[in-house]
Amino acid sequence: MDLELAGRTAVVFGGARGLGHAIAVALGREGARIALVDVSPVVHGVAEEFAAAGVKAVGYVADATDYAAVRATADRIRADFGSVDHVQFAVGIGSGQFGFPFWNVDPGVWDRVLRVNLVAAVNVAHAFAPGMAEARKGTFLFLSSVAGQMGSQTDPPYSAAKAGLINFAQCAAKDLAPFGVRVNTICPGMIKTDLNRSVWQAWAGQQPPDLWRSYEDWTAEKIQKVVPLNRWQTPEDVAAMAVFLASARAANVTGQTINVDGGFVMHW
């Protein structure tokens, strides 16, 4: 099936590792040209690995919470690639604290979490949306979380930021629809990422010895309790959905929040 991604330019924020890297790999396999943006300089080495595999890729170092840096990076990408067709935002952090009850997390912690998970996404959208609207084509994808749909007590700042991201994506989808630009959100479920492990670490640090669980036991118990398919989700699961949403096969899909979560969140 031709997804019509070959030769297109995809910008992946957070593309050096984790879910962003998985998305970039999947898009590259479809023949897309990849602009990898990450706060870490390791992104240059990752771009070289892509190039060695036959994928046109360039790495850029930028902090997505810095709007001036994002705009400058967007200009460099357009100069290097000529156009931008797809923008994927896969940047996120947790508070690093166990937030139950919510007043366990000092309000001062919220600012950084909101800036990375929400304001950074707004920065990226501002930097790329006008050009895509002018070209009257393209897609945005924002990675949120199932926590953004349920008011997760585990990490209230993260949960609230991801909820805000879903809402912003819907606003952007409405504004960009007249220009033929689509905007969607993916909410991953239980995935073995550094962020997922940090949630366990925050929880484990507050438990008495009789309630403490290893990461493996804690996650196995949680998956059995909340994931109907009773298995981990993988970065490749999320990447497959990201590729579909960027493709011509999803031409009539915009403003949607799609869960890749094994049935964790169901609405009825």
Among 165, 155, 167, residue whose Cα is nearest residue 105: 155
Q: Would you give the end-to-end CA distance of the chain in angstroms? A: 33
What are the structure tokens assigned to 204, written together? 């484990």
Is 67 among the catalytic positions? no
How buried is 226 (Cβ within 10 angstroms: 0-12 exposed, 13-18 middle, 19+ buried)?
Answer: middle
Mention the CATH class of domain 9-260.
alpha beta
**Side chain identity, residue 153:** Q
What's the half-sphere exposure (Cβ side, CA atoms, 13 Å) at 57? 28
Output the pTM of the full model. 0.93
Catalytic residue among 60, 67, 158, 215: 158
Q: Which residue ranges of the chain lie beneath pLDDT 70?
A: 267-268
Q: Burial of 56 by CB count in 10 Å (0-12 exposed, 13-18 middle, 19+ buried)?
A: middle
